[in-house]
Amino acid sequence: MPAPDGEPMRKATLWVKICGATTPEAVAGALDAGADALGFVFAPSVRRLEPAQAARLAAPARGRLRCVAVMQHPDPDQVAAVLAEFRPDVLQADAGDFASLDLPASLERLPVLRAAVDPALPLPLRALFEGPVSGAGVIPDWQGAAALRARGLELVLAGGLTETNIDAAIRAVRPFGVDVSSGVEVAPGIKSAEKIARFVAAARVACRES
């Protein structure tokens, strides 16, 4: 239901996803910080895992946060392997990827948008908005993201987020959620539990104060 001023209602607590977990410390850090979701990458990246690796890492998080399979332009065989071995709660892929995939109805989808969408085209209920290259730490078009959010999209903002710019990002976009990867790393692919904790805390404060 829209707010009285015509702006879509935004939930009081921000949905926070830590993406690109590769170590037990990253998983523990996300759990301890109170994140809502944890992403495991199956696309070309320094953070890429095999499905069996991801399943072992995700074990402590099952039932405590959403385990997200992050893919890009996957073929059906890749998806089948990830579903069978990793058993994700959510599949994240570019919006155009889903049309060619036969997925179980119980699997949540998180389509990725990388630019503003033609106002004449329908939007999904929820989508992740980021720059042209995933995991590169590049800040996307916040103005375009805000325009999509204003159309009622539950927008998860990603790309170049850190504990130092999360307040500005939330004030500019007013997203449903945020997604961080390189912004909580000490080296490519290696997450810091301390950085995760600081980011999540900063995001929660920014959401309450925006």
pLDDT tens digits, 83-129: 999 999 999 999 999 999 999 999 999 999 988 787 878 899 999 99
The structure tokens 């987020």 sit at 161
pTM above 0.75, yes or no: yes
Nearest-10 Cα torsion for 88, 66, 165, 23? -60
User: Which one, of 44, 43, 36, 1, lies nearest residue 18 by Cα?
Assistant: 36
What domains can be seen in the chain, in order of their start residue?
15-209 (3.20.20.70)
User: Which one, of 76, 180, 67, lies nearest residue 134 by Cα?
Assistant: 180
pLDDT tens digits, 1-43: 333 344 443 455 899 999 999 999 999 999 999 999 999 999 9
pLDDT tens digits, 130-167: 987 776 778 999 999 999 999 999 999 999 999 999 99
User: Which one, of 81, 84, 82, 114, lies nearest residue 96 by Cα?
Assistant: 114
Q: At 180, is the secondary structure helix, strand, or coil?
A: strand
